[in-house]
């Protein structure tokens, strides 16, 4: 018998968009594909990990896209923000425009395949979180490759967390990240625990990039089905790791010892390329004795529908409820 890997043979077919989602969500999915059904994002290819010039060009192009997207919704944000430096780390500190509890803090880690999403997008993200949760939000504009590969981003996250711990009690802090930010949020918890730092009250992982080896089932089953993230990110994973073992827990936190991590909220969708990342992370947390809740949304691609759909609002409300519940728990403990 040969060593060829065997699997399920699936004939070429077009996967229809379901009628089980809102009309707004359906409209988003329809806009994300060409007439022949191929996802628009599938037309964009990543440079090889050693093509520095190629990465610099694509980063510049993506930054322009992010800036245009930020400009469209910037007027809807209410919080203000200041930017500070803590060592090598750049942190955007967003302050709600209404009365708020200054003891509470949300640490936000942006997405972007560990390569994109800094600058204006990160600044806007911190303001969005401050608006959503009504607390100070610290958005880490972490350093990224090709200029700054691993462990620069994680070092910046640790520096930011230490800074926040100097100003807020651990029980008053919630850490959150989406996609690549979910990778860094979980890796931050492992580094913080290993370095003797206290855990925050809660952890929010939205479709986390928890496994840079891409070993999960959904990397095949949802390939080209996820209209936002149609294919592998291995080129950017290798660029980020810069020779580090992709299975190292600080690179792929799914493979770490998760004991002692804080209560965790996890989200994904049935069409998310990172579905396996999220459900496996959830199972690993449960096995480690960590309180964890998993939210899987029907037909949702990576990152959500991102169109102000009922599903996006439902997710936002679920995250807000989890965060507020973690802080309400600290009030009860303080009164005991």
Domain ranges of the chain: 47-335
Please name the residues in contact with 24: beta carbons below 8 A apart, sequence gap of 6 or more. Answer: 305, 307, 308, 309, 310
Q: State whether residue 175 is helix, strand or coil.
A: strand
Q: Rounded CA gap, 226 and 263, in Å?
A: 28
Q: Is 26 exposed, middle or buried (0-12, 13-18, 19+ CB in 10 A)?
A: middle
Can you give the pTM of this predicted structure?
A: 0.95
47-335: in CATH 3.40.50.10320: no
Please name the residues in contact with 27: beta carbons below 8 A apart, sequence gap of 6 or more. Answer: 307
Helix residue ranges per DSSP H, the chain: 23-31, 52-73, 120-133, 152-165, 180-194, 218-221, 234-241, 275-287, 310-335
Residue 294, both tokens: 């998993």
**In this structure, what are the phi and psi dihedrals at residue 175, rounded to the nearest 5 degrees?**
-110, 135
Residue 164, both tokens: 């926040």
CB count, 10 Å around CB of 2? 5
Nearest Cα to Cα of residue 81 among 160, 157, 138, 133: 138
| pLDDT in 10s for each residue of the chain, 336 residues | 455 668 888 888 899 999 999 999 999 999 999 999 999 988 678 899 999 999 999 999 998 888 888 878 778 899 999 999 999 999 999 999 989 999 999 999 999 999 999 999 999 999 999 999 999 999 999 999 999 999 999 999 999 999 999 999 999 999 999 999 999 999 999 999 999 999 999 999 999 999 999 999 999 999 999 999 999 999 999 999 999 999 999 999 999 999 999 999 999 999 999 999 999 999 999 999 999 999 999 999 999 998 789 999 999 999 999 999 999 875 544 443
């Amino acid at each position: 018998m040969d060593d060829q890997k065997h699997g399920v043979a699936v004939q070429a077919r077009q996967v229809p968009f379901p009628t089980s989602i809102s009309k707004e969500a359906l409209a988003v999915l329809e806009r994300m594909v060409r007439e022949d059904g191929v996802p628009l994002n599938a037309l964009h290819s990543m440079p090889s990990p050693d093509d520095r010039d190629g990465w610099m060009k694509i980063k510049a192009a993506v930054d322009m896209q992010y800036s245009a997207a930020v400009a469209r919704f910037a007027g809807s944000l209410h919080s203000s923000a200041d930017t500070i430096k803590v060592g090598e780390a750049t942190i955007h500190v967003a302050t709600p425009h209404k009365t708020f509890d200054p003891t509470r803090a949300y640490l936000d880690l942006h997405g972007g395949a560990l390569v994109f999403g800094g600058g204006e997008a990160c600044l806007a993200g911190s303001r969005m979180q401050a608006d959503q949760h009504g607390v100070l939000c610290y958005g880490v504009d972490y350093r990224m490759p090709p200029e700054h590969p691993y462990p620069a981003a994680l070092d910046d996250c640790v520096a930011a967390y230490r800074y926040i711990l100097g100003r807020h009690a651990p029980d008053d802090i919630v850490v959150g990240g989406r996609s690549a930010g979910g990778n860094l949020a979980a890796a931050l918890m492992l580094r913080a625990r290993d370095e003797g730092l206290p855990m925050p009250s809660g952890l929010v992982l939205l479709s986390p990039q928890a496994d840079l080896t891409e070993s999960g089932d959904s990397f095949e089953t949802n390939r080209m089905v996820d209209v936002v993230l149609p294919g592998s990110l291995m080129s950017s994973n290798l660029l980020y790791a810069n020779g580090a073992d992709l299975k190292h827990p600080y690179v792929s936190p799914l493979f770490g010892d998760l004991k002692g991590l804080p209560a965790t909220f996890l989200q994904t969708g049935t069409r998310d390329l990172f579905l396996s990342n999220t459900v496996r992370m959830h199972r690993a947390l449960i096995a480690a004795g960590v309180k964890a809740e998993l939210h899987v949304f029907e037909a949702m691609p990576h990152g959500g529908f991102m169109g102000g759909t009922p599903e996006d609002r439902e997710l936002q409300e679920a995250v807000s409820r989890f965060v507020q519940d973690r802080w309400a728990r600290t009030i009860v403990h303080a009164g005991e």
